[in-house]
Structure 1
Amino acid sequence: MKKIISLLIVIFILGCKGERKEGLEDVPALENDSLSEESFISESFLSEEEVKFNLEEANRLAELPLGCIETEYPNKLGQTLENEEALGTPQELHPAFYGCFDWHSSVHAHWSLVSLLKQFPDLEKEEMIKEKLKNSLSAENILAEVEYFKRPQSDSYERTYGWAWLLKLAEELKTWEDPLAEELDANLQPLTDLIVERYLEFLPKLNYPIRVGEHANTAFAMSFGYDFATSTRNDELREAISKRARDFYLSDDNCPVSWEPGGYDFLSPCLQEVDIMLRILPKNAFNLWIDDFMPELKDEDFTMEVGEVSDRSDGKLVHLDGLNFSRAWVFYHLANKYPEEFGHLRTLANEHVSYSFPNLVGDSYEGGHWLGSFAIYALQAASEK
């Protein structure tokens, strides 16, 4: 029987206490001879039981966003044209985020570079990366991005996936103790403020969560938004997300994880919901909730087969490599926060990373323009024990 009443009581008591996507079939491989599949992975990375993120891998991963943030074409603009004057080249329309095939991929490519610099200050191409970040994230470029979002037909532009990654980029800058980060964060602030406003406007109007394995997934967007709100002490946004997550997910039972993955998934609908509830619920409440939603996660024998990609020249099918990374970061989050209950999931996370990591390069633009960000976020989660 559903333990929702008990769960609500626990919450009350504790609260009182204080792609590459379609259209890229003919895109050539990234032109970087140093990124062959054979050379991309160090012997120590996947040869041991524990996945280890080190400077050697960071240097290689940095090549992926560096290889696309200034690559304007091919490009999927995803815009609604209000008139003929709305037309423009990608760089004209999005001077900060025009590369990497689409806007959101460009945003998280920039996040990747910031994240790698924060974790590994001795990156080989540190100066080049900093210069490219300064060029992209100039005050002038960001104001142009803001103006695009304010177009009459752009209220829902990049909702909510691109919004989430923009806040993740802002969070990374705000938590990076470096003079460049302060400069870039100040430049980005007008767009950050606008995206926060969009969250606060949209979430109360969304009557039902979007439970899909691609961009529109509500739980994913709320997870990244919640991280930003927590890091920046934005209580209004944090409370708005917390409330909607409870509204959407608190009474959920028996997530049909056996239905996953969908053929184009790069997110797990079940696990993304776990990820947001892990953030907002106190421990006792989360344990009660997970016992109803996905109790199998507590089973030390629980397993989940990796998502297998049949054709890495297909921009949608390659999404499954992203699924493996996103599953892994949820498993790592669970194992990190509650090791006694979920520590065994770290091995499963490592298996998912180990399957897809060798496929980040060596194919085409399919994975190169976005998968590196997913890998970096998963590896970052793995290191946060």
Structure 2
Amino acid sequence: MWIDLSTLYFLAIGTLLLSAGMLFWEGQSRPKHLRAITCLAAGFGTLAVGCALALARGHLPGALGAIVANMVMMAGYLLVFEGTAALGGHRRRAISLTILIAVGLMWTLSGARGQHAVWNYVSALPIALVSGLTMWEMCRNDSFRALRARRVVIAFTALHTLFYAGRAFVLPVLAPIFGAPLLTAASTVTMYEGVLYSVGLPMALMALFREEAHEQVLTASRTDYLTNLGNRRWFFEEGERFLHTWGVDGRVFLLAFDLDHFKSINDRFGHAMGDEVLKLFARFARRAVGHSAILARIGGEEFAALLPCRSSTEAMALAQGVVSRFAEAVADPDAGLGVRATVSIGLAELGVDGTELPILLSAADSALYQAKASGRNRIVLAKAQPFAVAN
């Protein structure tokens, strides 16, 4: 079905206004991106005003209608560009102002004879440029890199860029050959593409924000709020992947940690101090086991780590370093907390003490309980004799 040009203009105006309203409403529930989303909503709203002015440009004297309509539409595209840049924490006001001034100079220098060419061909070039810059900002935004909707946003901006680049460079070559019918058809196709852009890009952006919010909720459900380590759920989910990755060709060990006499720390110094001890141990353990290891807080004062080691001797040496150096670090009144705190560790090996994560953790827990019963502040290998640390 072929829709006349005026109807397409009204359709574009309506979809742009609807998109602006929906984005503005979306921004109220996204305080992190409120400024960026407000800018995007303003951009689509401004594009709607530009389309309305383009539709009514014949009612203004001379080329004034075309000039005003094009300048307003450029302002809308630049606001979308600014909003996309703001999502990555950037401001591009100097670039936007330079482009807007250049467009104004382009119209001023075109003269009466050149204004027809500017409206039909040349004005498409800055639109292609700004759409390309919008795509570039989304491509370099690392915070959205893992989100699927990001690729859709990039696709819509890339399509818009290519379309207007074609209008700027290809249409002037073909117009003298095919004449006025081609220009009429190009205007209609432009409006069809504009309607697609006015619906697709805002919807893709809203999908992006909602996917990000979903990922944040999912991450929060797997993260311990106090130590910022993974929680028990995360440990079992990521631990299974870790075992499948590292357990095929290498040796993997599970360390179960438990802070000794932690209740007495809370009772004597208060829960705030207890929280600080937990956070200090989390930071200390993370440095000790390295970022390739899986480390999580799986209970109140209980932690667990999965890590690859070449031998049980290497794993034992690492655990011994945690036991001895943590006690020193937490007791230091300057660099630490100035309280006495120690840790006991149970150590189990994949394949020796279990082939599945729950069984492996159970074996490490049993060794940990033996370490507690043997006097605490020590390491015990699963099915092995206690390995005490000299005081």
Q: Settle same-fold status: TM greater than 0.5.
A: no
TM range (shorter): under 0.3
Greater percentage in strand: 2
Q: Higher RCO, 1 or 2 (CA under 8 Å, sep at least 6)?
A: 1
TM-score of the superposed pair, with normalisation by structure 1: 0.24
More helix by share: 2
